[in-house]
Amino acid sequence: MATLEELEGDIWAAPENTTRLIETCHRLRKEEIEEFSIENFRILLGQGIGIDHLAPLALIILEREPLVSGDFYPGDLLSALVRDQNWAKLEPWAPRIVVICREVLAALALDPDDIEINGKLYPSPARELAAHLRAYINRRPSSH
């Protein structure tokens, strides 16, 4: 296969005084896509990078295992893919993505519990995932 830089014909300048996430994204653009881990896909798709090339490959993975995870929680790859910022670029694959989203929603608990941390409630990963999937299916930005 190739790298995102090769496929896009776009070599990004090395970042200076930046975050670890930005450094990681720059590094991943130089790596062979066939060597990517689920986490690599999650990172780049979550940042809206390389969608034209990575979304079709991620869909192959997600159609086999919709709740596959990178480093965070079951379904984090799907959640990264369907972020609001990616919707326009995902239109060619929207019917396939909606099928996956509906399959996952049917498998999730109807109302996953929130998580309490230091007396404050936070949405559970399952609740976050469900919100992203519902937002994508209905194409209305989620509140998260």
List the domain boundaries for the chain: 4-138
Q: What percent of the chain has pLDDT over 70?
A: 94
120 — pLDDT class (breaks 50, 70, 90): confident
Question: What pLDDT score was predicted for residue 98?
Answer: 96
0.85 exceeded by the pTM? Answer: yes
Rounded to the nearest integer, the mean pLDDT of the chain is: 90
Q: What would the pLDDT profile of 8-64 be if each residue is shown by its tens digit?
A: 888 888 878 889 988 999 999 999 999 999 999 999 999 999 999 999 999 999 999
Q: What is the mean pLDDT of residues 96-104?
A: 96
121 — pLDDT class (breaks 50, 70, 90): confident
Residue 110 has pLDDT above 60, yes or no: no
Question: What pLDDT score was predicted for residue 111?
Answer: 61
Instruction: Identify which has the larger pLDDT, 92 or 117.
Output: 92
CA–CA distance, 114 with 123 (Å, rounded to integer)? 5
Residue 126 has pLDDT above 90, yes or no: no
Q: Hey, which of 66-70, 107-111, 119-123 has the most confident mean pLDDT?
A: 66-70
Nearest to 134 by CA among 85, 67, 79, 88: 79
Report the chain's terminal Cα–Cα distance, integer Å: 35
CA–CA distance, 59 with 134 (Å, rounded to integer)? 18
Residue 143 has pLDDT above 60, yes or no: no
120-122 vs 115-117, strand pairing mode: antiparallel
Q: DSSP for 24-67, please give it.
A: HHHHHHTSBGGG--HHHHHHHHHTT-SHHHHHHHHHHHHHH-TT
